[in-house]
Structure 1
Amino acid sequence: METIIIILFVLGYLAIAIEHNLKIDKLIPALVMMAALWAIVATSHMDVFEVNAELKELEATDIQSILLHHLGKTAEILIFLMGAMAIVEIIDFFDGFGTIKKYIKTKNKRKLLYIFSILAFILSAIIDNLTTTIVLVTIVQKVVKDRQLRLWFAGIVVIAANAGGAWSPIGDVTTTMLWIGNKVTTLALIEHVLIPSIACVAIPTFIASRLPIFKGEIEGEEDLEEVAGSSSKYGPTMLYLGLGFIIFVPIFKTVTHLPPYVGMMLSLALVATFAEIFSRKKFALTTFTQDDENQVAYHSPLHHSLGRIEMPSILFFLGILMAVAALESLGMLFHFAETLSNSIPMLGTESVGEKVSDLVIIILGFASAVIDNVPLVAASMGMFSISIDDPVWHFIAYSAGTGGSMLIIGSAAGVVAMGMEKIDFFWYLKKIGWLAMIGFLSGSVVFILMRNLVLNA
């Protein structure tokens, strides 16, 4: 039966990886895979186990207990993500992200490149890299009329957004998974991954800025300040409130030691309170246009925002995380990790991370460019029984978060940029992929050097 389970998992994984060719949303194979794997485990009465991280061994348990355990851990991640998505939608309800446009005050291509790169890096550390890419590519479309130049800007935004999300516990789904799964803490993650992430984005951005495409000024007669426009009256306030309360979540967890989703729900409630107050003032003090009436039809910013949460993404995460949990419960990932660690030659210090080779984690980074990084990280969490804040977890956060930039389909940020600008797969591979690879490898080297300096100190 184990062979059948592995075959089903591989087929499901393959269907997720080639969703664009199959023209089937990846949530479908993820949910089918989850249900099929657990059904086989239940009907075949297979033994299930829970990994004891302290004893580094498997402990037998019953299927109902293990299902409840994994569902609880998965629900923590999903509720956290739903809260974050809702806050982002509330900000967008007031056109809060339009405030960012005021920073665009130059026509110099090279300066614009650095502005968008820095904005993507910072924003994605607070909101997710997917939302950051949508916001900034939308602004690029309004500022840059030359499509070829826009493609380059979009490519650099993808690299910067993925790098920015890697060092923040709230910046990327995979780092959020590691954070909620008690694999990393906020301060340690920032301390060990921030500088490698800066190298990952700074080097490709600098190289790109020297290319002929970024010489001179953008074409067009429009005044950039006019193009940037101004956000609605409460837009800036809601932007700063929303981002501030998202940043508050790690602080809340540190102080209370409660799961992160509790802090995110509190932040959502507070942001929604201000949104309700502002929306009443907004509609009371203006003359209704047709657009205003349509907005009022949503009843409130909170209802509007909850209705716009990406449920397909939430269901995909549910399916893939619970499918990986099935393999973990059977002990397959635990044994696979042992085999992997013993078969791949060590790179780096053996005392690090229970003899997990740096090469294994670098390969994981390259794999995340082809395969969705969520199941990769989920699998690694079940493979390695390593203590919290071990350098291995920090390296996995970096590799899984930034490796996907090497292919346009390798990250959610890349996929959304591909859809918004109709970026060709091979164009990205030829023009942007090598820059992303240089950035990824540069950051990896910086991480390894920093880690070894600390260990040898």
Structure 2
Amino acid sequence: MATSGAFIRACPLPRQWFAPRGGGGVTGRRPPLRPALSPAAARRRAVVAPPPLRMAAPNERPGSSRHTGGDEDAALAAAVDTKVRATVEASGSDGGGDGNGAGSGGVVPQTSEAAATAAVDAEVVSSNSSTDILRLAAVGGVCSVIAAILQHSWVADHRDATMTTIFVLGYAGIILEELLDFHKTGVALLMGVGIWVTLMTASPDHALVVSELSEQVSSISEILFFLIGASTIVEIVDAHQGFKIVTDAIRTNNRRVLLWAIGFITFFMSSVLDNLTSTIVMVSLLRKLIDDPKERWLYGAAVVIAANAGGAWTPIGDVTTTMLWIGGQVTAAATIKGLVIPSLVSLVVTLGIMSPPLRGDVVRPSTSGNDVMAPRGKLVFWTGLAALLSVPVFKAVTGLPPYLGMLSGLGVVWLVTDVIHAGEEDREELRGSAAVSRIDTSGVLFFLGILLAVAGLESAGILREVAVYLDAHIASREIIAAVIGLVSAVVDNVPLVAATMGMYSLDSVPPDSPLWQLIAFAAGTGGSMLIIGSAAGVALMGLEKVDFFWYFKKASLPAFAGFAAGIATYAAMATLHLPALGTAAGM
């Protein structure tokens, strides 16, 4: 083996250590070597670093001044990586000098530390690659088996069973997302496509299935375009720190007063924004108001409950309510009149249970000054708010679908940012083009997969059969809506509401009926009973690392009490014919 003479001069190791195993006066097993350095690195180490620890040579006497001791030998030997040693030893060849005074006796190869470490990393990567290949092979095998089954004649004879099985398995994959380490968006997309493939395979009239699919995609796209427009507007406002106008209005430190203030601000903010965005904004606010992370958990739970309650009573406050509004099941004015009071009662009852144990003042954190509002941030905030609020007005005036009103509002906000930041190259991230790249595209695709799957079940008539079964065994449709609310604490409310929309047609259940309004309320507020029951709760869990069981102990009972109080309030208003309260309040 050969190496540089500079390396030998830089390292205080006996020269005989570098002899081949068969000569050079070294007998017995050669001690392990550390990775060799390049000549330049060795010279630098010799100048700036003290001599490294080494093991004693086999022929050194214990009393020698160069002996470092058995403990150091053992420590150093344990610290040397086995794979690195193997790489160093395997990279050389016997005999020959290098022209730098190494001689012909053979020395350690001129291998850099980076090369030796890279070899170890390469083996780790190789091991991970083997695991990845196995996972990919398993997924590919499952998909191949499913594809083969879908092409079998058995599918045509058992169409409904096959489609139901795909939906159940897909939904199980979505629920077990964390355990399986698969993103729910991919599972939802495969589930939606698989159901339509099954429907096409089992249908004798392929043209009819294609026509039905086109009609369903047309309806689904309205929801997706609406969500994309709303998310982009909110992202633009947030990039300008426009929500500071709302958050800076809170000046109290009293724990009880702060809880009620946070709850009501979130409630009304969520009626304009979606509950997920409202939760993210308010959690950011809590970090500026409360220093203790564990104390923020309780206020964060109140934010989730208030965001879900506030999003239930307006057509743009929650995805499920938006779906019902776009689908024609509810109208904006009737939804606000019928649900604002039950939603408000739900919030008040919940906060009333949570607030008594709170006493004293919170400790605020020191300000960092990193959340300064961008130039013209107030203008962007008010423009974005006006764009969101104008959507119901746009639909009422033009008669066009709501998503066009949302897209027109986005266009206005986008152009405003282009005008006010024209020529400011350092503020490109504040424009609409940058905001589009930051929206949750995976969430939009998840909704696409879910809605495709539910649309397939609806087209096959399966959901209609479920509705007939429920009507035959449950006397009240209002009870069905309440049960959907309870189930939404565990199961995502988007597919629940989508399935219910497919179960009952507008001919059998007209728009703004108690069933649709209660579904909007129950699916929204019912998700507050568990932290995993809504997008707002999941966001809180991710942002503040809130423990599932802590939320269950501290917030589930107040959330359930608010949910039940809201249902009872709606039932009382319907029984006593009190929807005129909303009209008396000017709504």
TM score, norm. by length of structure 2:
0.69
Matched, 1:308 2:448: no
Residue identity opposite 2:360 in structure 1:
G
Equivalent of 2:261, from 112, 115, 130? 115
For residues 518 and 286 of structure 2, the distance between their equivalents in structure 1, rounded to whole angstroms, comes to: 32
Give me the whole-angstrom Cα distance separating, in 2, the residues matched to 1:455 and 1:304: 48
Equivalent AA in structure 1 for residue 474 of structure 2: I
Partner residue of 1:342 out of 469, 472, 483: 472
State which of 255, 258, 272 in structure 2 corresponds to 1:126: 272
Match of 2:283 in 1: 137
* 2:332 aligned residue: 186
Is 1:155 equivalent to 2:301 in the alignment? yes
Q: Partners in 2 of 1:222 and 1:409 — Cα distance?
A: 32
Cα deviation, residue 456, structure 1: 11
- Tell me whether 1:217 sits opposite 2:324 in the alignment: no
Q: Secondary structure at the match of 2:498?
A: helix
Q: Deviations over 1:71-118 (max 9, x none)?
A: 000000000110001101111121111222211211111111111101
Of residues 544, 548, 569 in structure 2, which corresponds to 1:421?
544
1:439 aligns with one of 544, 559, 562: 562
Unmatched 5+ residue regions in structure 2?
1-157, 581-587
Tell me which residue corresponds to 1:331. 461
1:18 matched residue in structure 2: 176
Which aligned pairs between 1:14-413 and structure 2 lie closer than 5 A?
Answer: 14-45=172-203, 62-211=208-357, 214-220=358-364, 222=366, 231-280=373-422, 283=424, 293=426, 295-296=427-428, 298=429, 301-346=431-476, 356=477, 358-385=478-505, 386-413=509-536
Report SS of the residue matched to 1:171: coil
Q: Does 1:6 align with 2:6?
A: no
Taking the aligned partners of 1:428 and 1:368, their CA distance within structure 2 comes to 16
What letter is aligned with 1:160?
Answer: A
Higher relative contact order (CA 8 A, sep 6+): 1
- Contact 2:290/2:365, CA 8 A, preserved across alignment: no
d(CA) in 2 for partners of 1:186, 1:106: 35
Deviation for aligned residue 1:46 = 6.0
Q: Distance in 1 between matches of 2:460 and 2:552?
A: 38
Give the corresponding residue for 2:51: none
Letter of the 1:447 counterpart: Y
Q: CA deviation at 1:406?
A: 0.3
Task: Please state how far the C-alpha of 1:231 moved relative to its aligned partner.
Answer: 2.3
**Higher Rg of the two aligned structures:** 2
User: Displaced runs of 4+ in structure 1, greater than 4 A?
Assistant: 220-223, 226-230
CA contact (8 A) 2:241 2:372 kept: no
Cα displacement string for residues 357-407 of structure 1 (whole angstroms, at most 9, x for unaligned residues): x22111100111111100000000000121111111000000001100000
For residues 207 and 430 of structure 1, the distance between their equivalents in structure 2, rounded to whole angstroms, comes to: 13
SS at structure 1 position matched to 2:576: helix
What code does the residue aligned with 1:203 have? Answer: V
CA displacement at 1:454 relative to structure 2: 2.2
Unaligned runs of 5+ in 1: 49-60, 284-291, 347-355
1:441–1:80 CA distance, 2 compared to 1 (3 A): same
Q: Distance in 1 between matches of 2:180 and 2:291?
A: 33
Q: Which amino acid aligns with 1:442?
A: A
User: How far apart, in 1, do the equivalents of 2:564 and 2:284 lie?
Assistant: 29
Cα distance, 1:232 vs structure 2: 2.8
Matched residue of 2:577: which SS? helix
AA in 2 matched with 1:388: P
Cα contact 1:196–1:447 (8 A) shared by 2: yes
Alpha-carbon contact 1:19-1:25 (below 8 Å) kept: yes
1:162/1:402 contact within 8 Å kept: yes
Q: Distance in 2 between matches of 1:341 and 1:376?
A: 17
Classify the secondary structure of the residue corresponding to 1:9.
Answer: helix
The normalised TM-score by structure 1 is 0.88
User: What is the CA distance between 1:237 and its match in structure 2?
Assistant: 1.8
CA 1:330–1:138 in structure 2 vs 1: closer, same or farther (change >3 Å)? same
Shift of 1:302: 1.0
Number of residues paired by the alignment? 419
Deviation, structure 1 residue 313: 0.6
How far apart, in 1, do the equivalents of 2:204 and 2:479 lie?
Answer: 34
Deviation of 1:412 (Å): 0.2
Residue pair 2:177, 2:183 contacting (<8 A) in 1 also: yes
Shift of residue 227, structure 1, vs aligned partner: 7.6
Contact 1:142 1:227 in 2 (8 A): no
* CA gap 1:380/1:220 in 2 versus in 1, 3 angstroms: closer
* 1:264-317 CA distance string (max 9 Å, x none): 111011111111122237x3xxxxxxxx73x43x4x611111111211011000
- Mapped to 2, the partners of 1:183 and 1:216 lie a distance apart of 47
